[in-house]
Amino acid sequence: MRRLAIINLLIVLGLGHVVGLSWHINREAIEAISLKVFSVQGRAAFELIQTARHWNAIQGKVYVPVSEATPPNPYLRNKDRDITDNFGRKLTQVNPAYMTRQISELLQGSEIQMRITSLQPINPANRPDAWEAATLQQFERSGQLERVERIGGRYRYFAGLTIQPECMQCHEGQGYRIGDIRGGIGFSVPAVQVDQLVSEMQQGSSRIHLLVFVFLSIMGVSLFSLFYLVRSRLSASVKAQAELQQLVERDELTGVLSRRALMEQLSTEIKRSSRYGQALSVLMLDLDHFKRINDSYGHPSGDQVLKETSNVLLRHLREVDFLGRYGGEEFTVVLPNTACLQAEQLAERLREAVSDCRIQLPGGEQVQITVSIGVTSCSRGELDAEVLLAHADKALYLAKQQGRNRIAVHGQA
C-alpha cells in the first residue's frame, strides 16, 4: 500500500509537472498572439496615416487658414509657404510631415499615442527616443520596416518611412536618395486594451489545464494515456497557431494574401529572380470608380464587389502567381518568371475578364465594373520591392489618366 501510494504520488507530481509545462507553453503562445493582434492594429493605423499623407502629397500643395493651432511651419522654407486668399485670409501650407505631427498632437492626452520621428529630423521635436532610434538603426541594417513590442505597460508599433519622389523637395538637402529610410511613424496603446482581447483565451486555457490535471490525477491513467493526451494537446496548440497565422497572412474580406504576406512573397520572388536570373513582373490593379458603388449601394455591396473581383482574378491567374490585396480597392499580382510582354498579355486577360463579369449585389442589382492595371518588370539591376511597387503604381496612375479600363506599362510614354 505504501509503495502504491508513493507511485500514485509520483504519478500526480509527474502529471502536475507535464500539465503545468503545457499551461506555460500555451500562455506564452497566447501572449505572442497579443503582439500579433496589436501588430495588425498598428499596421492598419499606419496604412491609414500613410493614405492621408499620400493624399496630401499628390495634391501638390495643401493650404489651411493660419491659426493658433496651425501656425506657419518654420521648417518648411519654400517661398510660397504662406499666401493670402481672395477673402484676405492668411493661409499656410501643410505638407505631409506637418499634417502628421498635428494629428499626433491632437492625440495627446488620449490612450492612443502617435509619433513621427527620424534620425535626421528637420524639426527638433521629432527626435527619436532611445527605442525609436534603435529601431531605425535596425531598419537601416536589416531592411525591415516594421517592429512591435510590449514595453512596460504599453504596446508599441513602429513602421519605417522610405524616401519617395515627392519627398525630395524637403529632404534632398539631407543627402537622401529614393528608397532610403528617412524615419518612421509609431503608435502605442495601453497594454490593457490589447490584453483584454486575449484574456478570455487565457482564462479558458487555465480552466482546461486545471480540469485535465484533476481528471488525470483522479483516474490515474497510464503513462501511455498521458503521452497520448499531451501529444493531442500540443497538436491542438500547433493547429491554433497555424489558424492564427492563416488569419494574419490572408485578407479577411477576400481571402487573398494580406499586404504583409504579399510583401514577404514579393521579397522571396525577388531573391529567387536575382539568384537564377529569371524575369519577374508585378501588376497593380485598381477598381475604377469603386467609390460610386459604396455611395450608391452601400458598403456591403462594395464588399461583395471586392470579393467577386478577387474570385475572377484568381480564376484567370496561373498556379504560380500570387494575388494580394494591397489596400482598399487595390490588388497586386506577383508574376514569377514572367517577362514584361507576358505580363502585359496576362494583364489584358484579367482586364477583359473583370469587364465581362456581372456582379450580383445583396440587394438584387447587377453591376459591371472595370479595372485599370499598371504593369512593370524588374531587371537584375532593379531588384527592390519598394521601387518595383512604385513603378507599378506609376503605371497604374498612367492607365487611369488615359481613361481607365486599360493597362499601362512603366516606362512607356
Q: What is the pLDDT of residues 202-237, one digit of tens each?
A: 666 666 756 665 666 665 544 434 444 444 455 555
Mean pLDDT calculated for residue range 303-308: 94
Distance (Å, whole) CA 50 – CA 200: 33
pLDDT at 231: 46
Q: C-alpha cell of 370?
A: 472595370
274 has pLDDT over 60: yes
Mean pLDDT calculated for residue range 395-410: 95
Q: Considering just the CA atoms, what is the radius of gyration of the chain in Å?
A: 27
Distance (Å, whole) CA 97 – CA 53: 8
Q: What are phi and psi of 209, to 5 degrees?
A: -65, -40
Establish if 365 belongs to a structural domain.
Answer: yes
Mean pLDDT calculated for residue range 146-152: 88
Q: What are phi and psi of 394, to 5 degrees?
A: -65, -40
Establish if 14 belongs to a structural domain.
Answer: no
Q: Name residue, grid cell 525577388.
A: 270
Distance (Å, whole) CA 217 – CA 14: 10
Establish if 403 belongs to a structural domain.
Answer: yes
pLDDT at 405: 96
Q: C-alpha cell of 279?
A: 524575369
Establish if 194 belongs to a structural domain.
Answer: no
pLDDT at 230: 47
Name the residues annotated as catalytic. 329
The domain spanning residue 371 has which CATH number? 3.30.70.270
**pLDDT tens for residues 306-354?**
999 999 999 999 999 999 999 899 999 999 999 999 999 999 999 999 9
Mean pLDDT calculated for residue range 387-411: 93
Side chain identity at 293, as an amino acid letter?
I
Q: Are 255 and 43 in contact (CB under 8 A)?
A: no
SS3 content of the chain, % helix, strand, coil (to 5): 55, 20, 25
409 has pLDDT over 80: yes
pLDDT at 324: 95
Mean pLDDT calculated for residue range 134-162: 89
278 class by beta-carbon count within 10 Å (0-12 exposed, 13-18 middle, 19+ buried):
middle
Which of 8 and 225 is assigned the larger pLDDT? 8
Mean pLDDT calculated for residue range 132-159: 89
Which of 243 and 331 is assigned the larger pLDDT? 331
pTM to 2 decimal places: 0.44
**Who's near 103: CB < 8 A, 6+ residues apart?**
49, 52, 114
Establish if 397 belongs to a structural domain.
Answer: yes
Instruction: State the residue range of the domain holding 320.
Output: 259-409
**pLDDT tens for residues 252-269?**
899 999 999 999 999 999
Establish if 52 belongs to a structural domain.
Answer: no
**pLDDT tens for residues 25-77?**
766 666 667 777 778 888 888 889 888 888 888 888 899 999 998 999 988 88
Cα 157 to chain centroid, rounded? 12
pLDDT band for position 182 (cuts 50, 70, 90):
confident
pLDDT band for position 133 (cuts 50, 70, 90):
very high
How many structural domains is the chain composed of?
1
**pLDDT tens for residues 78-116?**
888 899 999 999 999 998 888 888 898 888 888 888 999
Establish if 355 belongs to a structural domain.
Answer: yes
Type and span of the H or E element at 51? helix 2-58
pLDDT, mean over the chain: 82
pLDDT band for position 170 (cuts 50, 70, 90):
low
Rounded to the nearest 10°, the torsion over CA 122, 127, 133, 139 is -30
Establish if 227 belongs to a structural domain.
Answer: no
380 has pLDDT over 50: yes
Mean pLDDT calculated for residue range 160-172: 74
Which of 62 and 383 is assigned the larger pLDDT? 62
